[in-house]
Structure 1
């Protein structure tokens, strides 16, 4: 699994001109599921995300997690995080898990993050053409890959 965490002042997901999810300060997480990912990846990544200290404390140091700050979260599935650009100019998505595998793992990830933070998690619509808007805070953008555990 790959995740891009973006610290945001606000974020939203729209599908067919309908607002699906919106948050104030917190995290927008783009999540890509790779062939071979498992519930163990979900567990490791959800814990890492919930405890990632990328929010400022009272001294202005990045020392608090989204859970510490009471921030909100939106998770958007994004199979393109597993694009391979090694050959030619058209990305290959062969490493991305098929929807029958990735959708349940996406749902489990959202549920696990909700449990870890004690707050509901906003979502996009799996497989839909989504319009994602955000105001990046910092900007702070973190990439995490469960294969390398970093």
Structure 2
């Protein structure tokens, strides 16, 4: 068992010496500071305008590449160039374009679409930015 004198010597003489020669904690694990806020929440209220492929729709913004003969149209592949606006009016200023592909992926149920597309912003504070969406 250590004597009180030994503990005192350790605290007053040895411990400061050890601390003096050891590297500071910020050299071992430097603190990282954010130049921008680390978390930002963005709420966008945009309306997607899809005009389906078909002979009676001259202003359509999608085209069927492959019309599958499986049940529920499994495998049907459609390429799209939809628009996003701030209002429900499809003739309003286009904020972004949604360009990509959607595939009928449901073999046992209808309307099970897999989509992948890039949202390319053209107007507003995100103009020039791209968001990729899959699912």
TM range (shorter): under 0.3
More helix by share: 1
Question: Highest CA radius of gyration, 1 or 2?
Answer: 2
Higher relative contact order (CA 8 A, sep 6+): 1
TM-score between both structures, scaled by the size of structure 1: 0.25
TM-score (normalizing by structure 2): 0.26
